[in-house]
A and B are shown apart, each in its own frame.
Chain A
Amino acid sequence: MNLLRELWRSVAEFLRTFGAMALFFVDLLRYSPSTLFKRFNLVVYQVFNAGALSIVIIMVCGLFVGGVLGLQAFANLERFNAEEATGILAGFALVKEIGPVITALLFAGRAGTALASEIGLMKATDQLSAMEMMAVNPMHRVLVPRFLGGIISMPLLTAVFTMVGLLGAHLVAVEMQGVDVGAYWQQLQQTMDLDDVYEGITKSIVFGVVASLLAVWEGYNAVPTAEGVGRATTRTVVGTAIAVLILDFMITAYLL
């Protein structure tokens, strides 16, 4: 009996959190247009924070993920005498799956944690309450610019990651393993449609919304102590990873 009650309580708690997050999301969206027009410089600053500062990690990871894809694809396709298809395999994997997903995971680790801990610390040091005192809405001033900055950054980061990954696969396949350069690109171009690229972009936009929402939400709802901020940061990464991977499966199943 006790167990059932516990179970019910945790289910109810989960639903409550989910509902509160949905309301929070609607709130963010509601404030988005006015923030975008009136406080554009704040959004720009957050694009710098979340996007421009993540570019190095994105490019390095993209290069090596692409390279390892090139190695694996080549080693296995060689058995079927189809080394030229390395471009197709690496290209499809990067554009449709690995690009959006790994970028979202890296984003959660690099930018999501920074957002969550920054907002959490602002809350812990009463900066948010101070703003409210001065009749400045923290929604306008703190939360929405960070949310929008994340959403704008994610598709751009994904595109950079995918492009660098393709170049990495090119380096490994063409320069190291000796696949013909024409065959590498031409087979890819013949097989890939614009729809495939759009699928990757759609995913990156959805992941951008989810990752930014979770980071801002966790930061804003952090327990205002050192420990609470730390926990909020952890929850951001874990939550984003789970949400992104589940959503990735759902989007793929829907679009395929």
Chain B
Amino acid sequence: MRQNRAVELGTGLFVLLGIGALLFLTTQTTGRNDFSAAETYVVEARFENVGSLKKRSPVAMSGVTIGRVTDIQFDSDALEAVVTLIIDSRYDQIPDDSDASILTAGLLGSQYIGLQAGGSETYLEEGSEIYLTQSAVILENLIGKFLVQGSSDD
């Protein structure tokens, strides 16, 4: 009987430890700024070049994650990338002339969409489009420009 209880206790401790470790892995090693909201609205933005933006990339305003990229398509008529974003419905007072640019977190970090507030009185809503956009900065182009500039100075 005592042996049996020891086994049960050991098994219980082991299972608890294992589940604790699983929880640790799912919460502590993955993005803490993981965005989840009960209600969201969908907005589109068109970019000339999205760089290495991916699905699930964050959408941030003043550095706070308020949404997420849900889809990236290529519009073959306009020859542009169409990025679909969802934004938390709590933030329903974002001016519709806000500017969306693709930024990089740190020098080598992943890319995200940064929104810069505009001054309009009307707000972004379900299905609206952000028309002021700025493409991703492509490092190679930047280096190219820098080299050309450097040589013209001589």
Contacts and interface: CB of A to CB of B under 8 A. Distances in A.
Interface of A: 44-45, 47-48, 51-53, 55, 82, 91, 95, 153, 155-157, 159-160, 162-163, 166, 185, 188-194, 196-197, 200-201
Contact of B32 (A95, A189, A196, A197): A189
A185 B32 CA distance: 10
B31 to A, nearest CB: 5
Interface of B: 7-8, 10-11, 13-15, 17-19, 21-22, 24-26, 28-34, 56, 105, 108-110
A196 B21 CA distance: 15
Contacts of A47: 11, 14-15
Majority SS at the chain B contact face: helix
Given A48-B7, A190-B105, A163 B31 contact: no
Contacts of B34: 194
Contacts of B29: 91, 95, 166, 188-189, 192, 197
Nearest to A80: B108
Contacts of B30: 189, 192-194, 196-197
Nearest to A82: B108
A36 to B, nearest CB: 15
List 3 tightest A-B contacts by C-beta distance, closest first.
A156-B18, A159-B21, A52-B14
Listed residue (B25, B109, B110) with the most chain A CB atoms within 10 angstroms of its CB: B25
8 contacts: A52-B13, A55-B17, A156-B19, A162-B21, A185-B28, A189-B32, A197-B25, A200-B25
A156 B21 contact: yes
A156 B34 CA distance: 24
A118 to B, nearest CB: 16
Nearest to B26: A197
A199 to B, nearest CB: 11
A240 B56 CA distance: 37
A44 B34 CA distance: 36
Given A95-B29, A193-B30, A156 B17 contact: yes
